[in-house]
Chain A
Amino acid sequence: MSGSGAAVGAHLDQGLPGTAPVVLRERGQCEVFCGLSSIVWLHRKMHDAFFLVVGSRTCAHLLQSAAGVMIFAEPRFATAILQERDLAGMADCMEELDGVVTRLLARRGDIRTLFLVGSCPSEVIKLDLHKAAERLTRAQAGVEGHQVKVLAFSGSGLETTFTQGEDQCVAALVPELPRAPVGERNLLVVGTLADVVQDQFGRLFDALDIGPVHFLPGTDTRAFPPLGDGTSVLFAQPFFNETAGLLAARGARLLSAPFPFGVEGTLGWLAAAARAWGVSDARFDAVTAAPAARAQRALIRYTEVLAGRRITFLPDSQLEIPLARFLARECGMALVEVGTPYLDRRAMQPELDLLPAGVRLVEGQDVDRQLERIAADRPDLTVCGLGLANPLEALGLRTKWSIELVFTPIHGFEQAADLAELFARPLIRSARLKV
């Protein structure tokens, strides 16, 4: 270890080894996407939804640049670009929006739910998209045979970071969930999961006799799962702060668990549901032992590559803490620094409890300082956004794009090795290259 030079120690207290993680806060330039980028995977999950960003050309440009999503001929997202005349009050923004929505829905008869997505400019000019959504929904109610539900949420970078866009979107769905009869139990799994992963979890819950199980968001935005005081909620992703509050307010019980990454995380996550359903330990072990053992076997190939290697996470997707826990505890990696855009204690406590003592945990960002620390620490692997990856590679540092972690199925037992492989690949590649 090349040590974390004097300049680093000067403004970051790393905490004493053997104690709970000390959280250090930084403020400066944040090199993260805004919540709009969530649309990239949300629109793939919700097959009958369209996402209309009300914003600027920057929003449109971000959406098409962020993930190289131009493979879609006519995607189910678009931007209503505010123009000079909208801002100068020469045009009534609401009338303009109505016009855009009408044209859009006329083109796309396949759309059942339309999300109006707020952006930085729409928030600064205080465009009330919730009101617009209500009005447009009412207008739709009169249209025969083509009823579209219009909802609104914010993906603005003033308020949301990257994956928080999904939180805002799902939060907008919560009021739509029908009330479950009093005392009727069900399990609600919140967070976009790949279809294959959803099916795997469904089979495990079945075997544990936990159910009925619903997943939110689902592919059909018209089939809403019921929600009531008998509902227990498991979060599949760590970024559902707003949604959690709304679900709790509707009487749902939020289960506290680590997130289902790696064998340990998946076991802990399933166990939280099993406890809530009173599943016996014997039953739980009988159901999970085989897939857990299989996952562990699959992991070995990659832990050989990862063990002892040093990793730094730049704050980005909010998955940093759970993934750091997985890589440290199941793959034997050494955590140099774990950055997170913001720390949601409620969601993260079970994860924080599992993190190795004395880890350098940084909330917020000052990207220039963080890059200086990386240059000094020279970790074997840095998890970062697309804008920073090549410049770090050019310094001879290996990187992993964080956006891949939200686009790839990484949850659960069967994907544990795939998850490890994502981190092992840059190291394996680096070992292969002789140029």
Chain B
Amino acid sequence: MQLTVWTYEGPPHIGAMRIAASMRGVHCVLHAPQGDTYADLLFTMIERSERRPPVTYTTFKARDLGTDTAELLKTCVQGVHERFRPDLLLVGEACTAELLQDQAGTLAKSMGLPIPVVPLELSAYSRQENWGASETFYQVVRRLLHAQVPQPGSPPRERVSGQRPKANLLGPTALGFRCRDDVTEVTRLLNAIGVDVNLVAPLGASPADIARIPEADFNCCLYPEVALSVCSWLERMFKQPTVKTIPIGVGATQDFLREIGALTGIDVTAALAAQASRLPWYSRSVDSTYLTGKRVYIFADATHAIAAARICAEELGFQVVGLGTYGRELARDVRAAAERYGIEALITDDYLEVEAQVAELHPELVLGTQMERHIAKRLGIPCAVIGAPFHVQDCPARYAPQMGFEGTNVIFDTWVHPLMMGLEEHLLTMFRGDFEFHDAAAPSHLPTQATTTAQPAQTEMAQPQTPQASAPSVTPAPGGPLAWALDAERELKKIPFFVRGKARRNTELFAAERGIQMITVETLYDAKAHFGR
């Protein structure tokens, strides 16, 4: 048993639903009790989807358990076929049905429907949502393409000379972070260098489209969480190469173009030189000097976390102090990325563990999911959301891709915006006791509520404070309690509040290491000299 307060991913059948909801002409039957229908609201509320996800639940009840839940499933499948007339049917079980062992998928497959029926083994008690999406996508592709798999040893498909190369964009799904806009952006990017998009899948693809996958010259694995297993299978069976660079960030987008250039023989120098992103200049412009060395904490799905770390380190001049993911499938990649920044990756799906690390590291910016937004809000740290899971406000009306050059512009704005503005920060350091600008005042360009949320009392409304809900305090140093002399405490208060926590922590660490028990003004400045800014 695993004690869980919040969960990053849903159960695996949510992943299956995401594939069904992404595609056209696909319906999913889930053997599940009535409460599981809550999942519809993820699509209709978070993504404001105008249609219900194409999912029908058997909604068995206690009274059905005594009779025949398998029969109920068959009736349901038959009904779905007649009512919705899908081109392909997915049949799977949510957690409770898995225990009944009705073998829903196999049972539905044996019904002799005139359409492909794809049974799903979703392993509700060991796997999670992204795995469910990946597995479902893989099963769909395999089912629709197995008849086309060339004989082993046959040569890979040759491109007709004079024809523009074609790419499949694989991985975008419903409830994926900014997938809608990423697809548009990557399509533009490819078109600009003379590559056509053969198809996008699963988002917007029909089963007939899936059957055209082999017509492309290569696959772009845009979201490995969903598409990596499909891409590997296509590589093995169809000798279709995979472009693995994920074009999030300036450097990564350029690498993406170079990788495609090398693969197709297209000269991409013009595209690389086009200066299509404003990020490099915005980052070099003097106002951005204040971004230097900002301590940033990153936790999300592997794809977005790894991309964010590179952007922070190489393109914004931040210091990555923490990097992690909840997705175990790609943990190795995140570990490797963290090593590049001299830190150890945190691989966990325990929200409390992430919260403890954020509190301990005291970053100046958190880039994460909706979970980290809540953590950051509670700790009073600026935050931007960079990946799923996300709330309705992270599904914006405007065009806001993460990928490609426009994605870099969006990212610059979104990540820098929550921070204190450059000159503002300097003025604050200059006039520390500013009567209009203090702990309780928000950055001038943000709504005032930003500071009230910094108070933990806001989090549990009208509740007595629990020990966990109080602000993180410094652990007493071994070898005796640390005390602050009155004048040192006063001096500390002159330091702008957004760096005060760090200053306090550094000073106490400095004192503890030297066995100093009473922190004076001198200790404060000794520590400042020792640690630098």
Contact = CB atoms under 8 A, between A and B. Distances in A.
B95 A391 contact: no
B528 interface: no
A121 B96 CA distance: 5
Interface in B44-64: 44-45, 48-52, 56-62
B33 A120 contact: yes
A81 B2 contact: yes
A326 interface: no
B463 A73 contact: no
Given A58-B124, A70-B374, A72-B460, A391 B51 contact: yes
Contacts of B464: 47, 110
B529 interface: no
Nearest to B349: A57
Interface string A110-137: 1000000000110111000000000000
A65 B456 contact: no
B423 interface: no
A206 interface: no
Contacts of B42: 65
Contacts of B460: 72-74
Interface centre among B5, B391, B461, by most A CB within 10 Å? B5
A84 B126 contact: yes
Given A124-B99, A158-B62, A386-B44, A61 B35 contact: no
Contacts of A66: 38, 41
A234 B370 CA distance: 42
Contacts of A29: 37, 56-59, 76
Contacts of B14: 61
B157 to A, nearest CB: 41
Given A68-B391, A82-B1, A30 B7 contact: no
Interface in B399-452: none
A387 B44 contact: yes
A29 B79 CA distance: 11
Interface in B328-380: 352, 370-371, 374, 378
Interface string B20-44: 0000000000000111111111101
A280 interface: no
B94 A58 contact: yes
Given A60-B4, A61-B14, A81-B4, A34 B33 contact: yes
B44 A157 contact: no
Interface stretch (B184-192, B240-248, B306-314, B465-473): B465-473
B125 A87 contact: yes
Interface in B233-262: none
A32 B35 contact: yes
B35 A36 contact: yes
A298 to B, nearest CB: 27
Contact of B126 (A37, A62, A83): A83
B53 to A, nearest CB: 9
Contact of A34 (B34, B48, B124): B34
Interface stretch (A94-102, A166-174, A256-264): A94-102
B264 interface: no
B219 interface: no
Contacts of B461: 71
A61 B11 contact: yes
A232 interface: no
A180 interface: no
B10 interface: yes
B48 A390 contact: yes
Contacts of B11: 56-58, 61
A297 interface: no
A31 B5 contact: no
Nearest to B61: A158
Nearest to B47: A390
Contacts of B99: 87, 121, 124-125
A206 B11 CA distance: 51
A72 B352 CA distance: 13
Given A73-B374, A157-B35, A104 B128 contact: no
A344 interface: no
B147 interface: no
A184 interface: no
Contacts of A80: 1-4
B6 A64 contact: yes
Contacts of A429: none
Interface string A28-46: 1111111111000000000
A391 B44 CA distance: 7
Nearest to A64: B6
A31 to B, nearest CB: 5
A217 interface: no
A343 interface: no
A71 B59 CA distance: 30
A103 B5 contact: no
B533 interface: no
A407 to B, nearest CB: 13
Nearest to A77: B5
A58 B466 contact: no
Contact of B37 (A32, A56, A82): A32
Nearest to A394: B50
A388 interface: yes
B10 A57 contact: yes
A86 interface: yes
B61 A391 contact: no
Contacts of B38: 33-34, 37, 62, 65-66, 387
Contacts of B56: 29, 368
Given A70-B370, A87-B125, A159-B61, A390 B1 contact: no
B11 to A, nearest CB: 4
A65 B57 CA distance: 18
A108 interface: yes
Nearest to B50: A394
Contact of B35 (A33, A74, A103, A391): A33
Contacts of A191: none
B468 A389 contact: no
A194 interface: no
A156 B32 CA distance: 12
A86 B126 CA distance: 11
A55 B125 CA distance: 10
A78 B49 contact: no
B459 A108 contact: no
Given A74-B466, A100-B1, A368-B83, A56 B50 contact: no
B80 to A, nearest CB: 9
A97 B51 CA distance: 40
Nearest to B126: A84
Interface centre among A54, A86, A156, A161, by most B CB within 10 Å? A156
A30 B469 contact: no
A103 B5 CA distance: 13
B8 to A, nearest CB: 10
B273 interface: no
Contact of A124 (B40, B96, B469): B96
B100 interface: yes
Contacts of A55: 95
B397 interface: no
B270 interface: no
Contacts of B94: 58
A158 B48 CA distance: 29
A218 interface: no
Contacts of B35: 32-37, 62, 120, 156-157
B160 interface: no
Interface centre among B7, B35, B374, B459, by most A CB within 10 Å? B35
Given A57-B11, A58-B94, A74-B468, A30 B37 contact: yes
26 contacts: A29-B57, A29-B76, A33-B38, A60-B6, A65-B39, A65-B41, A70-B391, A72-B460, A73-B459, A73-B460, A78-B4, A81-B1, A81-B3, A81-B4, A91-B1, A100-B1, A100-B3, A120-B33, A121-B95, A121-B96, A157-B36, A387-B44, A388-B52, A389-B44, A390-B44, A394-B50
Please list the 3 inter-chain residue pairs (A to B) with the smallest Cβ-Cβ separation, ordered nearest first: A34-B35, A157-B35, A387-B40
